[in-house]
Amino acid sequence: MNKVNLTINGIQLEVPSTYTIMDAANVAGIELPRLCFLKGINEIGACRLCVVEIEGFRTLKTSCNITVAEGMVVKTNTPRVQKAIVTNLKLIAGNHRFECWKCPREDNCELLRLLRMYNIENDYQEDQTGTFEIKERIVNESKAMVIDSSKCVLCGRCVSACVYYTGLGILNYNNRGSNTFVGPALNLPIETAGCLYCGKCIQSCPVGAIKEQDGIEQAISYVNNKEYYTVACIAPSVRAAMGEEFNYKFGKNVEGQIYAALNKLGFDDITDVNYAADVTIMEEGTELIHRIKKHLAGEEVALPMFTSCCPGWIRYAETYYPELMPNLSTTKSPQQIQGALIKHYYAKKIGVDPKQVKVVSIMPCIAKKFECDRPEMENDGLRDIDCVLTTRELARWIKRNDIKFRDLADYEPASPLAKYTGAGVIFGSTGGVMEAALRTVKDIMEKGHEHQVDIKAVRGMKNIKEATMTINGIELTVAVVNGAKYIPEMVKRIKKNPGKYAFVEVMACTGGCINGGGQPIVPSYVAETIDIRQVRSKVLYTADKNSTFRKSHENSCVLEMYKEFLGEPYGELAHKLLHTTYTKRETYPIDD
């Protein structure tokens, strides 16, 4: 690779010729301010905060998209540069509604960080009627998320991220000039605009212009109402990320402290969705076996079977590939299974009226808010889940109550619905559902044999992974997709090779739930230095490796539940409570 020599603030550097000035500055240990920049995703120089002086150029240049050149001399800290940065920050601040005390990004807002760094006075918005008049506030919201134009800084990061991560381009700029705002085309309702609720726009936004629909007050109302028996449950990947909200290093498993925090918040009972992940494998694995046996018997059956635990993927299939709905596993997601079992099995087991039970789930995903609200997620007048909080929301609730999270001693829930195997915990990472399912399917179909537990061929962050396994003499090809952008490629492969694939895992978020839209937000300037997916994923696979039991059908509490209540996996009662149907999802037509 060709290299060039340049000087930045008197520091001589040799860097690859493909580097931008910002890249070179990073090598020199110089952090340049930026707001619109997302490496490899949004490099348009719109915010003009990363401007620098280059010897020989009359005007300031944006460092994020100017490539280095031999002999280039750059200065990032001249009075002229500093004045430009301060002026641009004031202009941005002048059009931003400040409600920092209640904003979900109060602790990690990139704009607020820069305003503090440069000691900006809000000259243009002192009385809301200054030089730059605040624009009309446009709010587009659904049960899952909120887009608020009054907070938007028009950086374009969400627009680019939607294309980069999903390939859909749901978000765009509407109107022109001072009336520009970001939202779905024609400002269609976000619920019917084709959005998956993957939350990549939320993670990409530098401020609080896009956020999850807040559920904290609803959860508090349940806990404070003594007529209710409140049960909390946490998703597999939450334990791998929550520590980030309390200044732990990336990759810290804080499971015991989460349980302790939930106990201090006042929940009557604490369970773990890992338990339901094990149940999901019992149901989904049995369903897969039934489909394979029917196929081998010459019966018509929908193969490959797709996993159904990712609500973003379910929205994608219902909206863009309704012809694939018969291929979706009918098994509910672990979140919904946990809620159904808490109300229809566990409540009676502990002598509580199911109608008084309120289940609050802690999820890495904003699409789970949509999922719990689906009309299908109810039996005998009982909703499976009553309220969903993201990992971030639980962290805010803990902070609001001034609970010293880092000082909490580990707590272990007593509920049998908090017991899980290693197979349950890896659900949170791409390939985890597939691996957990294959561990059990192989054991069931090859009775009496012990098998290798680790199935590494389906692990890793590759966008599409394929593997072939021989189970009971049958060669099965499976595939794993992570990232909505790559779903069309997988569908193309399936249609091009009918009969090749038996089972396909799909997760809308790259990396899986560990990188879900409700997880702690990693600021852009930090995300450039770490692959958070790998770090969080390692937490789950370490927990799996250290587990005494690593196959879902070895969970004694799950087996006891089937013996006492459901009878058998994929049976009549299991179908009623733990399985569901899907519906073609209509979007607003857009005329050409």
Which residues are part of the catalytic machinery?
284, 287, 309, 329, 368, 371, 376, 513
CA-angle at 155, arms to 151 and 158, nearest 5°: 85
The label of the residue with tokens 């490959």 reads: 304
Q: Strand, helix or coil at 116?
A: helix
Contact 62, 45 (CB under 8 A): yes
Phi and psi torsions of 293, nearest 5°: -65, -40
Count CB neighbours of 2 within 10 A. Answer: 7
HEC string of 84-101 equals HHHHHHHHHHHCCCCCHH
**Rounded to whole angstroms, how far apart are CA atoms 226 and 249?**
37
**Rounded to whole angstroms, how far apart are CA atoms 233 and 155?**
36
Instruction: Determine the distance from the C-alpha atom of residue 18 to the mean position of all C-alpha atoms in its chain, rounded to a whole number.
Output: 32
Q: Strand, helix or coil at 69?
A: coil
Which of 583, 509, 589 lies closest to 315 in space, CA to CA? 583
CB < 8 Å & 24+ apart, contacts of 187-190: 187/138, 187/140, 188/588, 189/140, 189/142, 189/588, 190/140, 190/141, 190/142, 190/145, 190/147
**Rounded to whole angstroms, how far apart are CA atoms 151 and 507?**
30
Q: Which helix (H) or strand (E) holds 73?
A: strand 72-75
